[in-house]
Amino acid sequence: MKCPYCNNKKTRVIDTSHDTRGGTRRRRVCDKCDRRFSSYERPILATPLLVKRDGTREEFDRDKLIGGLRVSCAKRPVAASDIDRIAGEIEAELQQMGRSEVPSRSVGDKVISKLKELDEVAYIRYAIVYLQLDDLESIRHEIDRLLNE
């Protein structure tokens, strides 16, 4: 791996650790400038196509999922690591399904259940769009249902 400081192509791995999602973190040192840096490797597994309501198909986009989660969690006490964790869990679940296509609804269902556990306000924000709660009565009904659980 090339050193990010001096662009030398000779670096050595001095430590390796693994995370629960199959990623590998490597601590490296440059042979030329002796500076240390870390690299993170994550396996690229195939994710299924998402079948939208109108029948069109779309590639799963982790960044799009993270963007939606960030909008829902804006100005809430939710750490960026929690958003990344949720996106990673959903991506891993899709990959483990082993199917070439899944309904986009299944991704939305997974997001909504994870947000409900993480932050109720973020859950309501996401639910307004996802569940198409288009009037105050339906939003109130969802909030009441949440409060009764």
> Which long-range contacts (C-beta less than 8 Å, at least 24 apart) are formed by 104-112?
104/50, 104/51, 104/52, 104/53, 104/58, 105/53, 107/50, 107/60, 107/65, 111/65, 111/68, 111/69, 111/86
Mean pLDDT of 59-64: 92
Tell me the per-residue pLDDT of 84-124, one tens digit each, with 9 for 90 and over: 999 999 998 998 888 889 999 999 999 999 999 999 999 99
* Strands in the chain per DSSP E: 11-18, 24-30, 36-41, 49-51, 57-59, 101-103
Q: Enumerate the domain spans of the chain.
A: 11-41, 49-148
Buried residues in 16-37 as b, exposed as e (16+ CB within 10 A)? eeeeeeeeeebebebeeeeeee
pTM for this predicted structure: 0.66
Higher pLDDT, 98 or 78: 78
pLDDT for position 21: 64
pLDDT for position 43: 72
Tell me the per-residue pLDDT of 26-55, one tens digit each, with 9 for 90 and over: 999 999 999 999 998 877 667 889 999 899
Higher pLDDT, 7 or 98: 7
The Cα 3–Cα 35 span in angstroms is: 8
pLDDT for position 49: 92
